[in-house]
Amino acid sequence: MNVSRPAVSQHLRVLRAARLVTARAEGTRRLYAVDPKGIKALRTWLDGFWDEVLVAFKEAAELEAANERKP
Amino acid sequence: MTEQKMAGGVDPNTVRKSMSIKAPPAVAWRVFTEKMSTWWPLAQYKIGKAKAVEAIVEPRVGGRWFERGADGTTCDWGRVLSWEPTSRLVLSWDITADWQYDPKLNTEIEIRFIAEGKDGTRVELEHRHLDRYGARREEMRRIFDTEGDWGKVLELFASAAAAD
């Protein structure tokens, strides 16, 4: 990679602060992995206002319909 | 996930979404109009200073669409422009790009509830007249519609990394 080690570490710190990756220490090394929870939250945000509102509405309406079908 | 409707190409002043739900139109209408507090993401999408606890649509043309805070204060979002149970609702969305109420803004949201199959509903949402955001139209269109591509994620990362 055409990037210095400290620069990579700095970028990973930013990702970790944003909770997009997790980090664990192994000896003197730090191992980073993608954090699925963080990515999911980001996805939700990226989906846009009306997507989020409509998906919330869909869940509520389907729950209501299911409750009404019960004898 | 909702679907994009792209009939007639991209209209920069309109955001369109549609989806199918497993509930008949009468239930969909009732949940949308009477029970908005139970599903609207009030934690994120509200404009008042107080914690928002209710989202209310007054059931008549000219009715208010507003949030009520835990402290009892209310903040208007818009007005009911058309009230046609159980098929069509048009609301004005009068929240500016700075998330303040401005009754003169008057963007419009039309929601149609169309019977689909047995006990299903096609819900179509159109948010139009985004040109009323003036210079901030494109910024707002993206917020309402979608930022959803990974190129954007990488841009966000790049700008966060650059600012660090």
pLDDT above 80: residue A18: no
DSSP secondary structure string for all residues of chain A: --S-HHHHHHHHHHHHHTTSEEEEEETTEEEEEE-HHHHHHHHHHHT-HHHHHHHHHHHHHHHHHHHHH--
Our count of domains for chain B comes to 1
**The model's pTM:** 0.71
Interface of A with B (CB under 8 A): 10-11, 13-15, 18, 20, 42-43, 45-62, 64-66, 68
Q: Closest Cα of chain A to B28: distance in Å?
A: 5
* ipTM at complex level: 0.77
Most A CBs within 10 Å: which of B29, B31, B57, as the mutation test of the A interface?
A: B31
CA atoms of A50 and B14, how far apart (whole Å):
12
Do A25 and A42 fall into the same domain? Answer: no
Most B CBs within 10 Å: which of A51, A64, A67, as the mutation test of the B interface?
A: A51
Residue range(s) defining the domain that contains residue B38: 3-163
- Token representation of residue B32: 């949308």
Residue B125, C-beta contacts closer than 8 angstroms, at least 6 positions apart: A50, A54, B16, B17, B18, B109, B110, B111, B112
| Domain CATH code at residue B93 | 3.30.530.20
pLDDT above 90: residue A13: no
HSE-up of B69 (CA within 13 Å, CB side)? 12
Do A30 and A59 fall into the same domain? Answer: no
Residue range(s) defining the domain that contains residue A26: 1-34
- Number of H helices and E strands in chain B, helices first, is 4, 8
Chain A: residue whose CA lies nearest to B4: A51
Chain A: residue whose CA lies nearest to B38: A60
Do A29 and A44 fall into the same domain? Answer: no
- B119, B121, B144 ranked by CB distance to A50: nearest: B144
- Token representation of residue B2: 């909702």
| Element at B77 (helix H, strand E) | strand B74-84
Task: Check residue A47 and give its pLDDT.
Answer: 65
Q: Is B72 left (phi over 0), alpha (psi -120 to 50) or beta?
A: left
Give A48-65 pLDDT, tens digit per residue: 888 889 989 999 999 999
Our count of domains for chain A comes to 2
Do A40 and A16 fall into the same domain? Answer: no
